[in-house]
Amino acid sequence: MLPRFLKSGLAPLAAAALLAFAAAAAAFAHDDHHPVQTGQTAEESAFLAENDTAMTKMMNDMAAKPSGDIDRDFVAMMAPHHQGAIDMAVIELRYGKNEQLRRIAQEIIVEQRQAIDAMKLAIGEPVTASAPAPTQPGPAPAAAHDHAAHDHKNMSHEMKN
């Protein structure tokens, strides 16, 4: 059975739209993920360079070699994806000025770390010790570390139930 738009004679229009979308995507893929701007500040250049590095690392790390265990392969691909979000959020905290976006970036860091830990726990891998984001000075306060350890124990307990 043909889709309704093919029966109505819209197939050429749909094909043209699909081709235009594919051409735009291909053109974007050849770009450095950001438009060249004249008069770019040193801060903007540093932001874009760090973001490009984070994106490249994420994409490379997501290309995990299949292990034969679908669950482990899923975690091997998704953990770098979530880490990429963390890395980009840290860059926002380093350079961003908008307080609302900075709060969102902080939430991304917390939530994505929790997602990585939950995935690791689900396949029996140890979780990474919590540490402050690189935009924060010094080690994490003991109370924050104790709270994070408590959260990990709760996550592990909840996943077993």
Q: What is the pTM of this model?
A: 0.59
For 17-39, what is the mean pLDDT?
48
pLDDT band at 5 (very low <50, low <70, confident <90, very high): very low
For 34-51, what is the mean pLDDT?
82
Read off the pLDDT of residues 116-128 as tens digits, 9 standing for 90 and up.
Answer: 999 999 999 998 8
* Token pair for 119: 């995935």
- Whether the pLDDT of residue 140 is over 70: the answer is no
Q: What is the pLDDT of residue 128?
A: 81
Q: CA 29 to CA 20: how far, in whole Å?
A: 14
For 56-82, what is the mean pLDDT?
95
Q: In whole angstroms, how far apart are CA 31 and each of 6, 64, 104, 112?
A: 34, 25, 27, 28
Q: CA 66 to CA 15: how far, in whole Å?
A: 35
* DSSP H helices in the chain: 4-7, 11-30, 42-62, 70-95, 99-122, 142-160
Burial 126-153 (b: 16+ CB within 10 A, else e): ebeebeebebeeeebeeeeeeebeeebe
- Whether the pLDDT of residue 61 is over 70: the answer is yes
Read off the pLDDT of residues 92-101 as tens digits, 9 standing for 90 and up.
Answer: 999 999 999 9
